[in-house]
């Protein structure tokens, strides 16, 4: 009695590889295998012992050449998959100024291999079951024997076992399960009657041994990444599941590095075992600037693009990303912070649009400009100027070039004071980001060196220091967080009576105010400064450090012929802590060390002052010392209280290092200043658009108490 069983072969859905013909086997007792991917319901007769089933119909045997098999090493789509196209991100509402945003990245989809499901289809109650007498696993004729480990894998996943019954559905499920291991390009099952039951032979064609994995179209893929991911698979039979896992790991590497547009769009393989990954990394074809209106749109009601004041190059020159480079989310986020730091915009974000080449992208920087100009006026009455009027004009984006212009003018009955300043933070065309600052000024300043009880004349009238002059400087970044500046300043310094405005030559004790003895000196000073900022947050640092050093060298010209050098340095560092829990937010211990000294002819009005808001809190301004040298130490514990309010506990100590008497005429000693002192207290910080508003209450070592106010932290 012979039982015919129709069996099925599962093959890969598609492939770009060369086909490998499975050699036909000529055996008179065997049935040609029908090449269909999915079994069709067919009623097979059962063959219980002692019965004679009706003879089943036999499927037509193909008379053409044996079917060919395609090695399934490419994803299901028959044409290479193109990368998902990013779409333009059009802002619908302005973002908060401190939250520049990056675009949501388009979803990445890697090529996948379609393997048959290992879950058996539901069986029908009418399916025939036959007894399995033997199960064999072979390779097609002309192929080398199957390695024992692969043969064992097949036995582990199939449910067809000797002594059990099998149905067509179960056999198809076994074929799918063998395919799902990922090691085989073709699987066929062939039955043959024996005296003890049906012998089921699985003919399997393993994938070729993997020889190499390479990548095309890469610019940023680091050397060794491919070998690290796929290296353990080389020299072994290619496993499609392992290749797919490697593809996902490679895409994850791109994502972790910030290359969020990178995709593996195709996997090409050869019969010899070489695999080539086709990768699109997200090349930037172009960079554009678009302006956002109050409605958060880049076009007006008539559909025309919104125009702005700022010139495009002011924005694009701040960007690290360039045309032809690979889009990186981390770099873009840092670029947005730099553009936002210009202070010209309320909101900005990045939009992505498809380029002419679908493998590339166009990046658009969407910006909403803020109001950068202001003007104010006022009037007043003073003992020195009499009735006076003031006007102030500030423009932070002059000509759309991010240039700053400031004009402060005070016109009184007896004097005209002014301060005109201009700053270009980045000279056009300069590759080193050199900035330029210039100003012209005529200022009257209260002197804490020549203060009470010694003044001018028998009435000890308080003196004022008048400075008339001009200055300019150039500044340039030297690296990450480091800058250097070089400048020149000229001043005509006059000591004047606060009541009459006239030049005063000596104080009430007969000591001269100036080096020249005329009440006026000329200062021509060459300035150099260097700073390196390693803080984690310039506004509210909790870790890192800030170092600054500056020196001034005067050139002897004009009245006084002053020749001197002054140098001062400051170092601040921050330690994150968590002592108190009033509110969620960063806490830090902040420390600052300062020091300075002067060489040569030091005018009294250029001495280092100690005491007050900027040095030792709890003391009045300048009441500790006026020395040729100084040292200052400050420590603060900064903590949040609630919402925008923070608190500070502080301690300050300053000393002139015994140098008060080294200043010409010893102005500090004659006024009874102690030369050193300390202060401690508590403060409040309120965050505002202008910065942190500082209010401190200090208690001095002399028993005095003082409130002090300022914008920004003391250091």
344 or 117, greater pLDDT: 344
Looking at the structure, do residues 443 and 559 belong to the same domain, yes or no? Answer: yes
CA nearest to 246, candidates 385, 368, 112: 112
Number of domains in the chain: 5
Looking at the structure, do residues 565 and 605 belong to the same domain, yes or no? Answer: yes
Instruction: State both tokens at 438.
Output: 């210039």
Q: What is the mean predicted confidence (pLDDT) over 355-375?
A: 95
CATH number at residue 257: 3.10.20.310
698 or 46, greater pLDDT: 698
Instruction: State both tokens at 327.
Output: 């889009």
Looking at the structure, do residues 437 and 498 belong to the same domain, yes or no? Answer: yes
Q: What is the mean predicted confidence (pLDDT) over 269-277?
A: 94
State pLDDT tens for residues 34-92: 333 333 333 333 333 333 333 333 333 333 333 322 223 323 333 333 334 333 343 33
Q: Each residue of 248-268: b (16+ CB within 10 Å) or e?
A: eebbebbeebbbbbbbbbbbb
Looking at the structure, do residues 540 and 562 belong to the same domain, yes or no? Answer: yes
Give, to the nearest 10 degrees, the angle between helix 168-180 and helix 148-157.
140
Residue 118 DSSP one-character state: S
How big is the chain, counted in residues?
715
120 pLDDT more than 70: no
Domain end position, chosen among 337, 369, 401? 369
- pLDDT value, residue 620: 96
Residue 124 lies in a domain: yes
Looking at the structure, do residues 192 and 225 belong to the same domain, yes or no? Answer: no
Q: What is the mean predicted confidence (pLDDT) over 554-573?
A: 98
Residue 83 lies in a domain: no
**Least confident span in 53-62, 231-240, 258-267:** 53-62
Residue 299 lies in a domain: yes
Q: What is the mean predicted confidence (pLDDT) over 207-213?
A: 95
- pLDDT value, residue 689: 81
Instruction: State both tokens at 86.
Output: 């990013």
CATH number at residue 658: 2.40.160.50
CA nearest to 375, candidates 401, 408, 403: 408
564 pLDDT more than 70: yes
What gap in Å lies between CA 75 and CA 13, rounded to an integer?
9
| Residue 27 neighbours by CB distance under 10 Å | 9
Residue 108 lies in a domain: no
Q: Which residues contact 127 (CB under 8 A, 6 or more apart)?
A: 43, 44, 167, 168, 169
- pLDDT value, residue 96: 40
State pLDDT tens for residues 318-329: 999 999 999 999
710 forms beta bridges with 694
Per the structure, the complete domain to which residue 492 belongs is given by 426-711
383 or 671, greater pLDDT: 671
Let me know the angle formed at the C-alpha of 530 by 524 and 531, rounded to the nearest 5 degrees.
140
- pLDDT value, residue 33: 29
- pLDDT value, residue 583: 85
Residue 615, helix vs strand vs coil: coil
Residue 87 lies in a domain: no
- pLDDT value, residue 421: 98
**Least confident span in 9-18, 322-331, 343-352, 628-637:** 9-18
CA nearest to 261, candidates 360, 143, 148, 388: 360
Looking at the structure, do residues 585 and 494 belong to the same domain, yes or no? Answer: yes
What gap in Å lies between CA 326 and CA 335, rounded to an integer?
14
261 pLDDT more than 90: yes
In the chain, % helix, strand, coil (3-state, to 5) comes to 10, 40, 45
Looking at the structure, do residues 288 and 347 belong to the same domain, yes or no? Answer: yes
What share of the chain has pLDDT > 90, as a percent? 74
Q: Under a CB-based contact definition with an 8 Å cutoff, are residues 594 and 631 in contact?
A: yes
Q: Under a CB-based contact definition with an 8 Å cutoff, are residues 258 and 331 in contact?
A: yes
Residue 97 lies in a domain: no
- pLDDT value, residue 584: 87
Looking at the structure, do residues 243 and 139 belong to the same domain, yes or no? Answer: no
Looking at the structure, do residues 306 and 392 belong to the same domain, yes or no? Answer: no
Q: What are phi and psi of 256, to 5 degrees?
A: -65, -30
Looking at the structure, do residues 179 and 305 belong to the same domain, yes or no? Answer: no
Instruction: State both tokens at 354.
Output: 């498809």
Domain end position, chosen among 206, 237, 258? 206
CA 103 to centroid of chain Cα atoms: 13
Instruction: State both tokens at 307.
Output: 């125009």
How sure is the predictor about 643, in pLDDT bands with cuts at 50, 70 and 90? confident
Q: Under a CB-based contact definition with an 8 Å cutoff, are residues 680 and 653 in contact?
A: no
Residue 340, helix vs strand vs coil: helix
Looking at the structure, do residues 403 and 439 belong to the same domain, yes or no? Answer: no
Domain end position, chosen among 229, 252, 280? 280
- pLDDT value, residue 594: 99
487 pLDDT more than 70: yes
Q: Which region holds residue 285: left if phi is over 0, alpha if psi is between -120 and 50, else beta?
A: alpha
630 class by beta-carbon count within 10 Å (0-12 exposed, 13-18 middle, 19+ buried): buried
Residue 58 lies in a domain: yes
State pLDDT tens for residues 143-171: 899 999 999 999 999 999 999 999 999 99
7 pLDDT more than 60: no
Residue 195 lies in a domain: yes
Question: Torsion over CA of 242, 247, 253 and 254, rounded to 10 degrees?
Answer: 180
611 pLDDT more than 80: yes
Q: Which region holds residue 547: left if phi is over 0, alpha if psi is between -120 and 50, else beta?
A: beta
Q: Under a CB-based contact definition with an 8 Å cutoff, are residues 292 and 91 in contact?
A: yes
Residue 210, helix vs strand vs coil: coil
Looking at the structure, do residues 58 and 201 belong to the same domain, yes or no? Answer: yes
What gap in Å lies between CA 45 and CA 55, rounded to an integer?
8
């Amino acid at each position: 009695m012979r039982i015919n069983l129709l069996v099925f072969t599962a093959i890969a859905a598609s492939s770009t590889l060369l086909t490998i013909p499975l050699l036909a086997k000529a055996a008179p007792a065997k049935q040609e295998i029908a090449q269909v991917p999915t079994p069709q319901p067919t009623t097979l007769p059962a063959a219980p012992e002692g019965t004679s089933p009706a003879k089943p119909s036999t499927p037509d045997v193909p008379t053409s050449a044996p079917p060919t098999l395609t090695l399934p090493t490419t994803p299901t789509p028959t044409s290479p998959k193109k990368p998902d196209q990013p779409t333009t991100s059009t802002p619908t509402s302005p973002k908060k100024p401190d939250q520049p945003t990056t675009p949501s990245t388009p979803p990445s989809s890697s090529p996948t291999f379609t393997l048959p499901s290992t879950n058996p289809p539901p069986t029908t109650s009418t399916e025939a079951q036959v007894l399995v007498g033997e199960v064999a696993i072979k390779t097609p004729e002309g192929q080398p024997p199957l390695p024992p480990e692969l043969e064992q894998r097949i036995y582990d996943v199939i449910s067809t076992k000797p002594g059990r019954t099998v149905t067509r559905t179960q056999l198809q499920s076994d074929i799918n399960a063998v395919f799902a291991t990922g090691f085989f390009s073709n699987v066929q099952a062939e039955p043959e009657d024996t005296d003890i039951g049906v012998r089921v032979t699985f003919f399997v064609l393993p994938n070729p041994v993997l020889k190499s994995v390479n990548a095309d179209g890469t610019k940023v893929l680091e050397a060794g990444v491919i070998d690290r991911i796929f290296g353990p698979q080389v020299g072994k039979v290619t496993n499609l599941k392992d290749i797919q896992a490697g593809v996902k790991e490679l895409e994850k590497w791109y994502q972790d590095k910030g290359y969020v547009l990178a995709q593996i769009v195709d996997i090409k393989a050869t019969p010899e075992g070489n695999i080539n990954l086709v990768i699109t990394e997200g090349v930037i074809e172009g960079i554009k600037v678009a302006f956002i209106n109050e409605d958060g749109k880049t076009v007006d009601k008539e559909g025309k693009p919104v125009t702005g004041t700022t010139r495009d190059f002011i924005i694009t020159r701040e960007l690290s990303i360039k045309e032809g480079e690979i889009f990186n989310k981390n770099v873009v986020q840092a670029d947005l912070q730099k553009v936002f730091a210009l202070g010209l915009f309320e909101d900005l974000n990045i939009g992505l649009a498809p380029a002419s080449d679908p493998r590339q992208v166009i990046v658009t920087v969407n910006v909403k400009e803020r109001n950068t100009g202001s003007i104010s006026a006022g009037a007043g009455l003073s003992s020195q100027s009499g009735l006076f009027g003031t006007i102030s004009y500030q423009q932070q984006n002059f000509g759309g070039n991010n240039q700053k212009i400031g004009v402060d003018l005070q016109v009184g009955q007896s004097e005209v004071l002014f301060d005109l300043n201009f700053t270009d933070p980045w000279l056009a065309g300069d590759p080193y980001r050199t900035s330029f600052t210039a100003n012209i000024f005529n200022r009257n300043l209260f002197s804490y060196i020549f203060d009470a009880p010694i003044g001018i004349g028998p009435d000890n009238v308080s003196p004022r220091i008048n400075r008339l002059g001009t200055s300019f400087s150039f500044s340039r970044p030297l690296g990450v967080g480091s800058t250097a500046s070089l400048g020149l300043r000229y001043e005509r310094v006059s000591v004047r009576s606060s009541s009459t405005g006239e030049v005063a030559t000596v104080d009430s004790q007969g000591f001269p105010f100036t080096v020249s003895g005329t009440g006026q000196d000329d200062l021509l000073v060459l300035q150099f400064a260097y700073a390196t900022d390693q803080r984690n947050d310039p506004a509210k640092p909790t870790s890192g450090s800030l170092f600054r050093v500056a020196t001034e060298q005067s050139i002897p010209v004009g009245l006084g012929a002053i020749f001197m050098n002054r140098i001062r340095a400051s170092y601040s560092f921050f330690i994150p802590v968590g002592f108190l829990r009033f509110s969620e937010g960063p806490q830090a211990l902040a420390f600052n060390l300062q020091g300075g000294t002067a060489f040569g002819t030091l005018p009294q009005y250029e001495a280092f002052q100690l005491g007050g808001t900027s040095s030792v809190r709890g003391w009045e301004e300048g009441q500790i010392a006026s020395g040729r040298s100084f040292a200052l130490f400050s420590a603060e514990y900064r903590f949040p209280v609630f919402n925008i309010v923070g608190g500070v506990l502080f301690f300050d100590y300053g000393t002139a290092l015994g140098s008060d008497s080294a200043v010409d005429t010893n102005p500090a000693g004659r006024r009874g200043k102690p030369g050193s002192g300390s202060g401690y207290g508590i403060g409040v910080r309120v965050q505002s658009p202008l910065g942190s508003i500082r209010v401190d209450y200090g208690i001095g070592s002399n028993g005095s108490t003082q409130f002090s106010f300022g914008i920004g932290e003391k250091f």
